[in-house]
Amino acid sequence: MRAAVIGAGPAGLMAAETLTARGVDVDIYDAMPSFGRKFLMAGKSGLNISHAEERGVFLSRYRGNALLQDMVRAFGSAEIVDWMARLGIAAHTGPTGRVFPEMMKASPLLRAWLVQLQESGAVLHARHRWQGWDGNGALVFGTPVGEVTASPDVTILALGGASWKRLGSDGAWASVLAAKGIDVAPFGPSNCGFHVEWSDHIREKFAGAPVKSVRLWADGVETRSEFVITQRGVESGGIYTLSAALVDELQRAGTATLFVDLLPDTDLPAIAANLVRPRGKQSMANHLRKSLGLSGVKLALLHETADGALPSEPEALAWLIKAVPIRISGTAPLDEAISTTGGVAWAALNDGLMVREVPGVFCAGEMIDWDAPTGGYLITACLATGKAAGEGASDWLQAPSR
Ligand SMILES: Cc1cc2nc3c(=O)[nH]c(=O)nc-3n(C[C@H](O)[C@H](O)[C@H](O)COP(=O)(O)OP(=O)(O)OC[C@H]3O[C@@H](n4cnc5c(N)ncnc54)[C@H](O)[C@@H]3O)c2cc1C
């Protein structure tokens, strides 16, 4: 029995591992010259591979998607820690429950994984861009030496989402599947940055500045975090946590508001009491710096949203400090998003992740239409769906009724 796994990100590699463990011969194809490029990029500032937290909270990150929740229940953070240990990579769990490989980077893990896959008999084919099926149902690949075809007994597609195209996942597969009659939802950005029409002052002086230790909220979702001011808006950290809420609000209302509590550890009366103190000849900026420690980018944000004229009444100013409104005008480009929504509709797949319209073809990873926040939940779902698709494919190969 021979399987083709197309897409060598975490979902495809886990599908391949699952198949080889069940005695299936596997060819792994990827369009890029090397494997797992987005996985390596994810590890650049620490590969947050999963999240250790109470199971109910963990499952709630997958937004009521029962089938996906079953898959991450079967292969969640504890299982990922055990799996890494089998590859010789110890795990480190941070104070907020984020799980990383001990060395933080993805490269040692990826290296060990590819060695293990090859030792299990998997054959790796880089520079093989899948283009679809020919008239006989064979897989067609574009390669540096021309077109090649393959006719495996089963195929797993793990082609990724549609962001960071230079790393391989360009979403071009969507039109191939749609032409086959498979329901593919349009791509949208998730865990993404947002546009804000900043003044020249903010753009010139504060682009790139982190806004640390704040409380952020939007559309009923809240987080204690930090974020970064960009030329065109806001991104990273807490912004990614709120991105689904901000996208929903943008879709509903055309604009959205991000609220920032600049002093989350000080309550409103205490701030107002500080502001009441006479400031003498001090400028307001000096008064805010000395009495409340507000300066730099935080002070600039306060001025920005107050149109330069801060409220003179202490309580009104305290309210503003506790809830600085930032008007969001749109999302940053899709290609810059950490992940994308949209892709193969769940209704197009059976419970083993086989495409209903094309028996023998399975899907895994970010190319399926699900969403989750950053914090390790994305790669966890890719690994879990990769495992489920590998199991579904090997069960299907062995089914007597096939
Ligand atoms: C900067 C950044 C940081 C991130 N950090 C984290 C993090 O810390 N934690 C976390 O959980 N997630 C993180 N993510 C998200 C995570 O990396 C992705 O969700 C995950 O890699 C998706 O896995 P996948 O296997 O589904 O797809 P991918 O990893 O995108 O792999 C898909 C593969 O398919 C190949 N492919 C595509 N089309 C074709 C074709 N036609 N023919 C052949 N091959 C093809 C691509 O070359 C690619 O190798 C981050 C993402 C980015 C961009």
Q: What is the pLDDT of residues 378-391, one digit of tens each?
A: 999 999 999 999 99
Given this model, what pLDDT does residue 365 score?
Answer: 98
Given this model, what pLDDT does residue 282 score?
Answer: 86
Assigned domain for 252 exists: yes
Q: Are residues 250 and 296 in the same domain?
A: yes
Query: 164 CB under 6 A from ligand 1?
Result: yes
Digit-coded pLDDT (tens) for 212-224 = 999 999 999 999 9
Residue 11 CA, closest ligand 1 atom number: 25
Q: Are residues 316 and 180 in the same domain?
A: no
| Residue 166's CATH number | 3.50.50.60
Q: In the 8-state DSSP scheme, what is residue 349?
A: B
Given this model, what pLDDT does residue 390 score?
Answer: 98
Q: Are residues 241 and 384 in the same domain?
A: no
Assigned domain for 253 exists: yes
Given this model, what pLDDT does residue 67 score?
Answer: 97
Q: Which domain-ending residue is among 331, 349, 371?
A: 331
Q: Are residues 130 and 215 in the same domain?
A: no
| Residue nearest (by alpha carbon) to ligand 1 atom 8 | 48
| Residue nearest (by alpha carbon) to ligand 1 atom 38 | 159
Assigned domain for 30 exists: yes
Assigned domain for 336 exists: no
Q: Are residues 122 and 16 in the same domain?
A: yes
Given this model, what pLDDT does residue 308 score?
Answer: 63
Other C-beta atoms closer than 10 Å to the C-beta of 76 total 23
Q: Which domain-ending residue is among 272, 299, 331?
A: 331
Q: Are residues 185 and 278 in the same domain?
A: no
Given this model, what pLDDT does residue 400 score?
Answer: 81
Q: Are residues 295 and 362 in the same domain?
A: no
Q: Are residues 6 and 135 in the same domain?
A: yes
Q: Which domain-ending residue is among 303, 331, 359?
A: 331
- As given in the structure block, the two tokens for residue 246 are 């901000």
Distance 156 CA to ligand 1 centre (A): 15
Contact between residue 58 and residue 76 where contact means Cβ atoms under 8 Å apart: yes
Q: Are residues 175 and 52 in the same domain?
A: yes
Residue type, 49: I
Given this model, what pLDDT does residue 336 score?
Answer: 96
Residue 376 CA, closest ligand 1 atom number: 11
Domain count, the chain: 2
Q: Are residues 300 and 182 in the same domain?
A: no
Query: 169 CB under 6 A from ligand 1?
Result: yes
Domain extent for 228: 194-331
Given this model, what pLDDT does residue 402 score?
Answer: 73
Assigned domain for 214 exists: yes
Q: Are residues 40 and 102 in the same domain?
A: yes
Query: 11 CB under 6 A from ligand 1?
Result: yes
Low-confidence ranges of the chain (pLDDT < 70): 307-308
* 129 Cβ contact list (under 8 Å, min separation 6): 31, 141, 142, 143
Q: Are residues 180 and 58 in the same domain?
A: yes
* Strand-pair category, 233-235 with 194-195: antiparallel
Residue 36 CA, closest ligand 1 atom number: 49
Query: 75 CB under 6 A from ligand 1?
Result: no
| Residue nearest (by alpha carbon) to ligand 1 atom 27 | 160
